[in-house]
Amino acid sequence: MPITYYTEQRVHAPILIACWPGMGHVGILAANYLRVKLNGKPYAEIDATPYFLPDAIEVLDGIGTIPPPPRQTVYYIAEPPLLIFEGEAQIAGEPGIRIAGELLDVAQTAGVNTVYTGAAFATPMSYRQPAKVFGVATEQTLRQHFLNLGVEPLKEGRISGLNGLLLGLAKSRSLPAASFLATMPQYAIEAPNPKASKAIIEVFCKILNTTVDFTDLDERINETDRMMGEFERRVAAALEALRRPAEPEEEEGATGEKPEPTEAPEPHELMAYIEQLFEEAQRDRSRAKKLKEELDRWGLFHLYEDRFLDLFKKKPEE
């Protein structure tokens, strides 16, 4: 797998920050924003062509073409000195491991002695709650710094994809590594979450002893909060309708007793549960029945109707 360097000048950088797309695009957005604000320049490109196996073609004006492989780019920042890697897409299996290995080759050539990644930690939380950062390190000395960074050690769990696997690969080369996971609403894992990305950037800035302008990111956070807030309010309205006792029927023999209000979870908790059911239905279509029952039970089908019907849309055949 060839590596193309954009400059003949070799650089020295003690830190590598590497991110691939994942839930909420949390890690990759953090890496991208930090790189732009610190004026990062392209340093090297890892060619993923030999391992790129497209599962579809792109069509434009009736012409179909195989899409190009996702770019895997290493950037160099002069001050503070570091490398930032951004992968346009994750490549699974052995090819992804090979790409990560090539990345570590580039990093070690530049003198990197510590590797960091960033990702999302989806939880049943509301958009109104601040993002909290958890950390995982490959050795105790690195973990000891979490407290000063405002990071809580992750008790247990797993980090899927290359944002997690890179830590193990770095450790096999005696490179200390850590990953930072910012919490975000579980119901919104398919949408970018700049608030969680900002929380990770703030941790990186403490490590690098630097600052960046958050004005642009704060604008994105406000817009995202507005959209998620609107959706949470619509779910809350549907739940309130269920809690409201129905009027007694004016029929002969009616007791006039009002039914007990339906107990319901908080909107963000219910939305996280619905998101979990959607994930199950995507993996196993037979679970769509359970999903539909729950959407009807909580009076939410009208809010999720388009997404529910998308589960049954067939993709164009080859």
Q: Look at residue 271 and tell me if it is in a domain.
A: yes
| 241 neighbors 233 (Cβ within 8 angstroms) | no
Q: How far is CA 64 from CA 52, 53, 61, 317, in A?
A: 18, 16, 8, 13
Q: Do 296 and 199 fall into the same domain?
A: no
Q: What whole-number distance in Å separates Cα of residue 266 and Cα of residue 274?
A: 12
Q: Over 50: is that where the pLDDT of 116 sits?
A: yes
Last residue of a domain, one of 172, 191, 212: 212
Task: State the average pLDDT for the chain.
Answer: 88
What per-residue confidence (pLDDT) applies to 260? 46
Q: Look at residue 250 and tell me if it is in a domain.
A: no
Q: What whole-number distance in Å separates Cα of residue 119 and Cα of residue 182?
A: 7
Q: Over 60: is that where the pLDDT of 135 sits?
A: yes
Q: Do 190 and 267 fall into the same domain?
A: no
Q: Do 66 and 202 fall into the same domain?
A: yes
Q: Look at residue 143 and tell me if it is in a domain.
A: yes
Q: Look at residue 10 and tell me if it is in a domain.
A: yes
Q: Look at residue 280 and tell me if it is in a domain.
A: yes
Q: Do 188 and 232 fall into the same domain?
A: no
Q: Do 112 and 233 fall into the same domain?
A: no
| 224 neighbors 195 (Cβ within 8 angstroms) | yes
Q: Over 70: is that where the pLDDT of 178 sits?
A: yes
Q: Do 161 and 226 fall into the same domain?
A: no
Q: Do 140 and 17 fall into the same domain?
A: yes
Instruction: Supply φ then ψ for residue 238, to 5 degrees.
Output: -65, -40
pLDDT digits (tens, 9 = 90+) for 53-112: 888 889 999 999 999 989 999 999 999 999 999 999 988 888 899 999 999 999 999 999
Q: Do 144 and 33 fall into the same domain?
A: yes
Q: What whole-number distance in Å separates Cα of residue 236 and Cα of residue 158?
A: 32
314 confidence band (pLDDT: 50, 70, 90): low
Across residues 21-30, what is the average pLDDT? 95
Across residues 285-307, what is the average pLDDT? 85
Q: Look at residue 302 and tell me if it is in a domain.
A: yes
Q: What is the pTM of this model?
A: 0.82
Q: Do 186 and 92 fall into the same domain?
A: yes
Q: Look at residue 66 and tell me if it is in a domain.
A: yes
Q: Which domain holds residue 171?
A: 3-212
Q: Do 205 and 233 fall into the same domain?
A: no
244 confidence band (pLDDT: 50, 70, 90): low
Q: Do 33 and 126 fall into the same domain?
A: yes
What per-residue confidence (pLDDT) applies to 315? 54
The H-assigned helical ranges of the chain are 26-37, 93-109, 140-143, 146-149, 162-172, 194-208, 215-243, 267-283, 288-297, 301-310
> What CATH number did the domain enclosing 189 receive?
3.40.50.10900
Burial class of residue 17, CB neighbours in 10 A (0-12, 13-18, 19+): buried
261 confidence band (pLDDT: 50, 70, 90): very low
Q: How many domains does the chain have?
A: 2
Q: Look at residue 188 and tell me if it is in a domain.
A: yes
| 193 neighbors 118 (Cβ within 8 angstroms) | no
Q: Do 182 and 103 fall into the same domain?
A: yes
